[in-house]
Amino acid sequence: MNTQVSLSGLVLDNPVIPASGTFGYGYEFAELYDINILGSFSFKGTTRDPRFGNPTPRIAECESGMINSVGLQNPGIDKVIAEELPRLRACFHKPVIANISGFSVDEYKYCCERIDREEQVGLIEVNVSCPNVHGGGMSFGTSPEMAAEVTRAVKSVTTKPVYIKLSPNVTDITAIAKACEEAGADGISLINTLMGMRIDIKRKKPVIANKMGGFSGPAIFPVALRCVYQVYEAVNIPIIGMGGVASAEDVIEMMLAGATAVQVGAANLVDPFASKKIIEDLPRVMAACGIENLTDCIGGAHHG
């Protein structure tokens, strides 16, 4: 059975990619298993300057999911290039996906230009959809015009494929996806987290210090699937689907909706072996569904 897929010329052994923010810079998981089994992975969202992130508590559990408000904690682009990527190179021998965030168009442009020079980076994922920061992130992803402006700026300084990561917290995600495509995006990643919150009924206060955060986990899978399905019909560029993916069956379902590759997020925080188990189970599910080549099922639900 053939599990290979291709993202804008980047060939992956399989479509399973741990999502940004749930896999660090990879080497922590490399202590548990050989992470080269992965198609690739998207490393922690990186900004120009170091960020401590949001105040604690940052995590709230809920039925079939979790809410987080980490706030893009990262050491900054210079340290990622100087320290994190060399450590990663020792344990991961495939091209990695660089997840870049920013608070201005110039910051996105600066970080993408820097990371584009790194040989280890096979694809750049530009996050215009983080719900956990003020004055940046999702503010760029809720407007077609702003998302297109970021896309154009980043594409002007990069040579590698650029995928724009979109938020579901909008009225019409297809309009934003189309604007990114017209501005030169090579692909679309979706969805980032939904907005959610929990309240401590004894303290009568929100559980998370930031009050609200990104809701992820199995509960959001149907929403993610719907968004991927809609965007597949609206654009002609590849899609990386994500949102509540927790099994090999979910991967196939997401690909039938239109995804070329699939990211696994919250499941990695519940079980650090989640992505490995999904990859190992893919051939069984493919056989059960009569799938010989995974690429044959991309968008299959649109042709039935």
Q: Which residues are catalytic?
A: 130
For residues 203 and 199, give the distance between their C-alpha atoms in angstroms, rounded to a whole number.
8
- The sheet with strand 16-18 has its strands ordered as 16-18, 261-264, 239-242, 187-190, 162-165, 121-127, 96-100
Measure the CA–CA gap between 91 and 145, rounded to whole angstroms.
Answer: 40
Whether 128 and 141 have beta carbons less than 8 Å apart is answered as: yes
Contact 129, 165 (CB under 8 A): yes
Q: Residue 146 in contact with residue 167, Cβ under 8 Å? A: no
d(CA 248, CA 197): 29
> In 3D, which of 95, 187, 186, 191 has the Cα closest to residue 142?
191
Residue 62, classified by CB atoms within 10 Å of its CB into exposed (0-12), middle (13-18) or buried (19+), is middle
